[in-house]
Amino acid sequence: MSKQQQHWEKTRGLLFITLAIWFIFSIGIFFFGAEMEASSFRPLGYPLSYYMTCQGSLGIFVILIFWFAGRQEKIDEEFGFTEREDD
């Protein structure tokens, strides 16, 4: 397998992990709105359902994108596909 194919394999792997986390916090947990509301776990005292819609999921997305960007940069570096400054 060529260097480029290996790079794409890894990139795709990272994409699936990222999208899986994204799916859980944007779609998955909201199938359980009523259950979250009844939960005794209350972040900062807010009902869990309320907290996730107005802060929780949003904050996780921000962190997820930066984490994804960091991992992708590592993959690019590993295969020598990092951009040079003068490109």
Q: For binding to other proteins (CB under 8 A), which residues are involved?
A: 4, 7-8, 11, 14-15, 18-19, 22, 25-27, 30-34, 36-37, 42, 44-47, 49-50, 53-55, 57-59, 61-62, 64-66, 68-69, 72-73, 76, 79-84, 87
Reading the block at residue 68, the tokens are 């994804």
- Smallest distance from the beta carbon of 82 to other proteins, in angstroms? 6
Beta strands in 1-87 (DSSP E): none
Reading the block at residue 40, the tokens are 């005794």
The alpha carbon of 63 is separated from its chain's Cα centroid by a whole number of angstroms, namely: 7
- Smallest distance from the beta carbon of 1 to other proteins, in angstroms? 14
- Smallest distance from the beta carbon of 35 to other proteins, in angstroms? 9
Long-range residue pairs from 51-54, CB within 8 A, at least 24 positions apart, any chain: 52/25
